[in-house]
Structure 1
Amino acid sequence: MEDAFLTQLDQQLAPADAVLASLYPGDRGVRQPIHTVYVPGDRFDADTTADWAAEAQAALDKHGESATELAATLDLPADHAAEVHDRVRAKLEREPIEDLRIDFEDGYGTRPDEQEDADALNAARALAKLVHARTAPPYHGLRIKSLEAPSRRRGIRTLDLFVGELARAEAVTDGFVITLAKVTSVEQIEAMVVVLDAIEWEHKVAQGSLKFEIQVETPQAILGADGTTPLPKMISAGAGRVTGLHYGTYDYSASLGIAAAYQSMEHPVADHAKNVMQLAAAGTGVFVCDGSTNVLPIGDQEQVHAAWQLHKRLVLRSLVRGIYQGWDMHPAQLPSRYVATYLFYREGLATAAARLRAYVEGGDSGYLDEPATAAALAGFVLRGLECGALDTTELDQLIGVDTAGLAKLARRPLRA
């Protein structure tokens, strides 16, 4: 065809090209934490992360001290039990919490204003200490009450106080993130952007630097009155500030009338909601996060083991479905979180590495992998590397591609 014709076609499609590039920019090139830990605002202090680490290690020592015991408890394959056990123990010592959320919503409740004011300031000061000591989790922040009319002013006030205190301490980091609870409308997201603009200006925080997650725990967030899902519009309305969609297991299930005994991350209504979330977030660079289980690993050994078994199964279920992050609500959930996650990546490494190596070198792995599948394979390996399930030495041996090469294959923008 003539070049003039193709140029005309380029011009015709230019607006659609621009919209696609704007709304679906792809991977942000940043690490996604494998979990978010929630701690009530009045219980958080500068020792909280260390306390969680100690409690998680104590639970592992008491109920899964050896690789053999842990393997028997959580049905780990013999060829992975020792390495998973050792890596989990090292993770609990090195980086027990990847993402921390100081909770001023359901986990905190409704308190007198003067008490929530004080707790917000105290929590921000404690977080600032961790930031300056370089012991804060890589991602950290707070969850505020919703922008529904009854809680709107209180949520904004807590956010303003918290960010202001962090800003005064020069402790607002790139890992700081806000969770907005019980979102019901696109207008609330638009309002949140206005709020963040004002807070940044008031406290001399870099414009556009405050990011937030949308907590998906209401039916209105999944299906609007017009019969469509508002989630894509919510992400767009966030003006580049939205980093995640977080599923709220119990609020969402209860709002659909699911009996308490059947409210779960694996209930069909939960799967439907998360499927919609994944579709809405695909290609946007926005992370999707699963919810939590309220069955805690506390009590005698039989109760702890049963809770760990359930948690491991649920975490693996999410990972298989392409949801790489979830909530943890108790220190003793950290061992089962890391066991399940590390097992997922360790078991999948050999096949993923062989397929990637064959794709790069033009060999035969027994699979006819296309570029999109190669990107998924590279993304799998990078996620395993980032959380500590895998290490660069074994990737060099098995794949022969360095981290930058993997990022390129995964279609991730390289970050300095």
Structure 2
Amino acid sequence: MGQQESAATSLADTVREGIGAALAQVDADLARRYPGDPGTRQPVHTVYVPGDVFTAGTLRSWGDQALAALDAHAPDAGALAAVLGIPDALASDVHDRVRAKLTREPVEDLRIDFEDGYGPRPDAEEDEAAARAAALVAAAYREGTAAPYMGIRMKCMEAAVRDRGIRTLDIFLTGLMAAGGLPDGLVLTLPKVTYAEQVTAMVRLLEAFETAHGLAAGRIGFEIQIETTQSILGADGRATVARMIEAAEGRATSLHYGTFDYSASCGVSAAHQSLDHPVADHAKAVMQVAAAGTGVRLSDGSTNVLPVGPTEQVHAAWRLHHGLVRRSLARAYYQGWDMHPAHLPTRYAAVYAFYREGLEQAAARLAAYVARSGGDVMDEPATAKALSGYLLRGLDCGAVDTAEVARLTGLTRADLDALAGRPAATA
């Protein structure tokens, strides 16, 4: 008495062991291909500035111009809420957070552009611009004035511009090394990818640079820009973007959708090229499925309708941009491009309202899940993972605060990371 009897079974241990051995390679393959979220902060946007335009004052200038646009066209919380349709209960908090963000950290991710935004230049001119970009980025990180993420977009791997792109990347990275090393926030973008072999070429290029400078293998990652039809569907009918992630050999950090190049390649007329066009939705859905679980993140594209001119025109552009950002967030595209300083107020207003309006419900559901107390929704581990991810993204961008999340959930940041399947936060 008092001893627990063993449950009756029929299968020998050798059966279980044999199945384990047979699936060992599958287990290893799953772990390699689908490592999950990297646990780092994802920026809410990327700002592109041509290589010859970028200066030491660019980041602050974007913030000042964004604040000036806000003051001119929506000077208080009520005015901004009325333009964008933000609920009255959120208006003051969102407005205050937007202003604080534009003052403190107006740009989360900056790409100095040597591709379409820069164009063809004499070699000596681009050499000088690339070296100058490296010096400015190194100085910004050294002086504490950098955006959390900064880097360049090189020219693509197509034959006509390949050598120029490689040289610009080499000059930029070499300049950073000479100035003290590669910053943690370094991001590189490879545009107009059509074949997985071009991704492989980028990997070999970065391997050679790491070897030349004694850097750890895999130190340098890069983004893949999805802006050609061939990057979504190959000539053999397969989803090419999945092959590109595989070809990156663990170096791919994100996939960025290119609105206008992709739309044009599908034959969409200029007046109808937009983030919400059906061809865009199809491409982004393929990207989303291909990237799921791989740790490769997604970024939506941009709108080319600029918030400039008289107030009525600015408001119309703001409503368009705000609606597109909200649409992307609802579709799990948590990042996008911004093309003008006056896009920043609506970028942050949309992002902050998205996370604040769902804060209490998400926190309550997560707290109930952890406490196993039920409620009117029965959540599963996958939903708890999504709820935690939602709160973590809100924390990362400044939409919500650590103290209020802790108060509403009773959970720490480490608890949220664990529930979301992330490694410990590393910024």
Which category describes the TM-score, using the shorter chain as reference length? over 0.9
Give the equivalent residue in structure 2 for 1:216: 226
Unaligned runs of 5+ residues in structure 2 are: 1-10
Q: Runs in 1 of length 4+ with deviation above 6 angstroms?
A: none
Bigger-Rg structure (1/2): 2
2:337 equivalent to 1:327: yes
In the alignment, is residue 360 of structure 1 matched against residue 377 of structure 2? no
CA RMSD of aligned residues (A): 1.0
Deviation at 1:203, TM superposition (A): 4.1
In structure 2, which of residues 310, 314, 318 is the aligned counterpart of residue 304 of structure 1? 314
- Counterpart for residue 62 of structure 1: 72
CA offsets 1:166-225 (integer angstroms, 9 cap, x no match)? 110014112101100000101001100111112223344443211100000001000001
Query: What is the Cα deviation at residue 21 of structure 1?
Result: 0.9
2:237 maps to what in 1?
227
User: Residue 358 of structure 2: SS of its match in structure 1?
Assistant: helix
Q: What is the TM-score when the length of structure 1 is the normalising length?
A: 0.98
Aligned to 1:285: 295
Q: Does 1:238 align with 2:238?
A: no
Q: Do 1:167 and 1:205's aligned partners in 2 also have CA atoms closer than 8 Å?
A: no
Correspondences of 1:134-153 after superposition (within 5 Å): 134-153=144-163
Give the secondary structure class of the aligned counterpart of 1:43.
Answer: coil
Q: Deviations over 1:51-82 (max 9, x none)?
A: 11111111111111100111111111000000
Deviation at 1:15, TM superposition (A): 1.0
Mapped contact 2:414–2:425 kept (Cα < 8 A):
no
Contact 1:382 / 1:406 at 8 angstroms: preserved in 2?
yes
Q: Does 1:157 align with 2:167?
A: yes
The sequence identity of aligned pairs, in percent, is 59
- 1:111 aligned residue (118, 121, 128): 121
Q: Give the partner amino acid of 1:111.
A: R
Using structure 2 for the length normalisation, give the TM-score. Answer: 0.96
Matching residue within 263, 271, 276 for 1:266: 276
Going from structure 1 to structure 2, the CA distance change for 1:251 and 1:93 (only over 3 Å counts) comes to same
Q: Structure 1: how far apart are the matches of 2:61 and 2:192?
A: 29
**Distance across 2 between alignment mates of 1:74 and 1:288:** 25
Give the residue type in structure 2 aligned to 1:128. A
Instruction: Look up the SS of the partner of 1:332 in the other structure.
Output: helix
SS in 1 for 2:23: helix
Give the counterpart letter for 1:217 in structure 2. Answer: E
Rounded Cα–Cα distance in structure 1 between residues aligned with 2:215 and 2:35: 25
Q: Of residues 61, 70, 82 in structure 2, which corresponds to 1:72?
A: 82
Give the distance between the partners of 2:262 and 2:34, measured in 1 at CA: 27
Q: Between Structure 1 and Structure 2, how many residues are aligned?
A: 416
After superposition, give the CA deviation of every residue in 1:134-160 in whole Å (9 maximum; x if it has no partner): 111111100011101001001000000
AA aligned opposite 1:186: A
Aligned equivalents of 2:13 and 2:237: distance in 1?
Answer: 44
Kept in 2: contact 1:374–1:410 (CA 8 A): yes
> Does residue 1:194 correspond to 2:204, yes or no?
yes
Q: Does the residue aligned with 2:52 lie in a helix, a strand or coil?
A: helix
- The one-letter code of the counterpart of 1:249 is T
Aligned to 1:316: 326
Q: Secondary structure at the match of 2:386?
A: helix
1:276 aligned to 286, 296, 316, which one? 286
What's 1:33 paired with? 43
Distance between the aligned counterparts of 2:308 and 2:343, measured in 1? Answer: 9
Contact kept in structure 2, 1:132 and 1:171, CA below 8 Å = no
Stretches of structure 1 that go unaligned for 5 or more consecutive residues are: none
For 2:275 and 2:128, locate their aligned partners in 1 and report how far apart those are by CA, in whole Å.
Answer: 34
- SS in structure 1 at match of 2:47: strand
Give 1:236 shift. 1.4
Partner SS, residue 86 of structure 2: coil
Once the two structures are superposed, the pairs formed by residues 389-404 of structure 1 within 5 Å of their partners are 389-404=399-414
Find the counterpart in structure 2 of residue 372 from structure 1.
382
Q: CA deviation at 1:350?
A: 1.2
> Structure 1 CA distance, aligned partners of 2:134 and 2:303?
27
Q: Residue in 1 aligned with 2:5? A: none
Shift in Å, 1:163: 0.6
Contact 2:138-2:183 within 8 A present in 1 as well:
no
Deviations 1:242-261 (A, max 9, x none): 10000000000001100000
Point out the more displaced range, 301-310 or 358-367. 358-367
